[in-house]
Structure 1
Amino acid sequence: MNILHSLQNSSIAPLLLSTIFGLVLGSFLNVVILRLPGGWQVFFGSMFSRCPQCERRIGWYDNIPVLSYLLLRGCCRSCGKRISLQYPLVELIMAVITTWLFHNYGPTPYFFLYTLFFALLLAVAVIDLRLGTIPDSLVIFGCLAGMTASVLTPFPGWINALIGMILGCMVPLVVATIYEWLRNKTLIGGGDIKLLGMIGAFVGWQPLGSILFYSAFLGLLVAVGCRFIGKSDRLPFGPFLAIGTVLTLFAPHSS
C-alpha cells in the first residue's frame, strides 16, 4: 500500500499538520516577542528576518523552525555568533501545545481558540522574562479576542467571560493596592493585573482562584530558591500566571 495514502487515511497526518502549524506559529511568535516591545512593525514592517547581532538578512533556508537552528548548530551563518535558545524553545513549546490541543479537540473552534490563548500566554511570558514588562497591546487584544470568542462558543459564555475579565483585573488590583498601602512595596505590576483580566476573558471567572493559587505558590517556590542561591532580583509574575493557567486547565482533577 502506498505510504502517503496510508498516512492520509490515519490520524497521524492531521496530528503532524497540527505540529507543523505549531512550529510555524512559534516562529511567528518569536517575531512578535522580538519586535513588539521595541515598537517595531510586526505585520507591516520588513518581512525579512535579520540576525540581531550582525543585522544581515536571514534566508528562508535558515528560517525553518527548529531544523535550521540544529543544522546551524545554534549560530548565525553570516557572523557565527550564538543564536538565542529562545527561538527553538518557543517553536517546540508551541508545537507541543497545538499537537496536544488537536489531539483533544480536533478541528473544532476550541482548537483555534485555545491555540490563540496559549500563543498569547507564551508570548507574554517570554517578553516578561526578557524585559520584565508586558505589552498592553497583547493583553488588550487578548481581552477583545476572549470576549468575542465567548459570544461565539458555549464555553465559558459571555457573562462568565465578562465577569472573569472584571474580577481578574479588580481582585489583584485591590489586593495590590492594600499591600502597597500597608507595606509601601509593589506586590504585582499593572501588566500582570491586565494579564489576569485577559485570562478571565478566555476561561471565565470560576478558575481564577486556582490560577492565582498555583501562580503564587510557584512564584514563592522560585523566589525562595533564588534567595537561597543569593539572587534577589524581582521576579516577573507573568510566566507564573501562564504556568498556573495551564496547570488549572489541564492538570487531572478528581471527580
Structure 2
Amino acid sequence: MIKILGYVTVFIYGLIIGSFLNVCVYRIPLNQSIVYPPSNCPRCNTRLNWKDLIPVLSYAILKGKCRYCGNKISITYPVQELFTAIIFLITYYKYGFSIYLFKYVILFSILIVISNIDIKHQDVYTSTTIPGIISGLIFAIIEQYFAIGSFKNYFIGAVIAAVIIGLIVYITGAMGEGDIEIAALCGTFIGWKLSILMIILAFILGGVIGTILIATNIKGRRDYMAFGPFLALGALISVLFGSAIINYYLVLFF
C-alpha cells in the first residue's frame, strides 16, 4: 500500500511540475517572469481560476478550449504534463525516494524546458542552462560531502561534454553554441562516463530521427534541426539505462 501511495504521489507531483514547465516554455522566450503574474489566457488575458489549471483534467473537461473566450488550447500542454509525470514515475521506480530521485527529476525538468524551447524557437537560454549547471554542481558537492559520489567525476563530465560538443560546433558549424551549454549542464549531473554515452546516443538518435523526418518530407535536408532534444534524450537514457548499456558492451568486447 505504501509503495502504491509513493507512485501515486510522484505521479501527481509530476503532473503539477509538468504544468509549471508549460509556463516556463511559454514565458522564458518572451523574457517574462515564470512566477508572476498568475496564469492567464494569452488571447483574452482573463486570469485563470484554479479549476482551469488542474493538469490534464481541466483540458479534458474544457475540451481543449478556454472557458472564457473559447480559444483553442494546444494539445502539447496536457501531453507535456503526462510526459513529465511518466518520467518522474520511471525515475522513482529506478531510484526510489533518494537524493538521486530529486537530482534527476530536476535535471529532466530543466531538459524538458530547454528541449521544447529549442524545438519551437531554435534557441537556448542561459536563464535555463546556468541555473541547471549550478544545480548540478550543488548536487555534486552534496554527494562528495556524504561520500556517495565524486565532485571530480561530475566536474570532468561537464568539461568533457562541453569540449566534445564545442569542437564539433566550431569545426563543423552544424550545431549551435547553446548545445555546448546543454552538454555541460548534463555532465554536471551524470559524470564523465555517462556524458560520453549521452553524446554517442544523441548522435545516433539524431541520425535516425533526422533520416525519418527527411524521408517523410517533414523536414528538408537543409532545414534546421534542434540538437538539444537529442542531448536530452541521450541524458535520459544514460541516467535510466546507462550502467546496463556500458556493462553490456564491456562484457561483449572484453
TM-score of the alignment, normalized to the shorter chain, above 0.5? yes
**Residue 206 (structure 1) aligned with residue 219 (structure 2):** no
Q: State the TM-score, normalizing by the size of structure 1.
A: 0.88
Tell me how far apart the structure 2 counterparts of residues 124 and 175 of structure 1 sit (CA, whole Å). Answer: 20
**Distance in 2 of aligned mates of 1:228 and 1:107:** 43
- TM-score normalised to structure 2 length: 0.89
Cα gap change, 1:222 to 1:99, in 2 (>3 Å): closer
Q: Alignment partner for residue 203 of structure 2, among 207, 216, 221? A: 216
Tell me if 1:187 matches 2:174: yes
Instruction: Name the structure 2 match of 1:10.
Output: 2
Map of 1:69 onto structure 2? 59
Distance 1:71 1:224, change over 3 A: same
Separation (CA, whole Å) in 2 of partners of 1:244 and 1:189: 17
- Give the corresponding residue for 1:118: 108
Q: CA deviation at 1:99?
A: 1.8
Partner residue of 1:240?
Answer: 230
How many Å apart are 1:209 and its aligned residue? 2.1
Deviation of 1:22 after TM superposition, in Å, equals: 0.7
Q: What CA distance in whole angstroms lies between the structure 1 residues aligned with 2:180 and 2:148?
A: 23
Residue pair 1:156, 1:202 contacting (<8 A) in 2 also: no
Higher helix fraction: Structure 1 or Structure 2? Answer: 2
State the partner residue of 1:85: 75
Residues 23, 65 of structure 1: 8 Å contact kept: yes
Residue identity in the other structure for 2:17: L
Q: Percent identity among equivalent residues?
A: 31
Q: Closer, same or farther in 2 for the Cα pair 1:103/1:250, shift >3 Å?
A: closer
Is 1:156–1:203's contact at 8 Å kept on the other side of the alignment?
no
Q: Which residue of 1 aligns with 2:27?
A: 35
Per the alignment, do residues 155 and 210 of structure 1 end up closer, same or farther by CA in structure 2, a change over 3 Å counting? farther
2:137 is matched with 147
User: Which residue of structure 2 aligns with residue 226 of structure 1?
Assistant: 213
Q: 2:14 aligns to what SS in structure 1? A: helix
Task: Please identify, of 61-70 and 241-250, the stretch whose mean Cα deviation from structure 2 is larger.
Answer: 241-250
Check conservation: 2:19, 2:81, Cα contact below 8 A. yes
For residue 193 of structure 2, give the secondary structure of its aligned residue in structure 1. Answer: coil
Deviation (angstroms), 1:131? 0.9
In 2, Cα distance between the equivalents of 1:38 and 1:64? Answer: 24
Instruction: Find the aligned partners of 2:205 and 2:188 in 1 and give their Cα distance.
Output: 23
**Cα distance in 2 between the residues matched to 1:177 and 1:168:** 14
Q: Give the aligned residue type for 1:103.
A: Y
Instruction: Name the residue aligned to 2:12.
Output: 20
> Compared with structure 1, are the counterparts of its residues 229 and 103 closer, same or farther at alpha carbon in structure 2 (3 Å cutoff)?
closer
Cα distance in structure 2, aligned partners of 1:91 and 1:74: 14
Query: Retained in 2: the 8 A contact 1:29–1:123?
Result: yes
Deviations 1:8-31 (A, max 9, x none): x53211211111111111111111
Amino acid at match of 2:171: I
Gaps of 5+ in 2: none
What does 1:151-162 align with in structure 2 at a 5 Å threshold?
151-153=141-143, 154=147, 156-162=149-155
How many angstroms does 1:156 deviate by?
A: 4.5
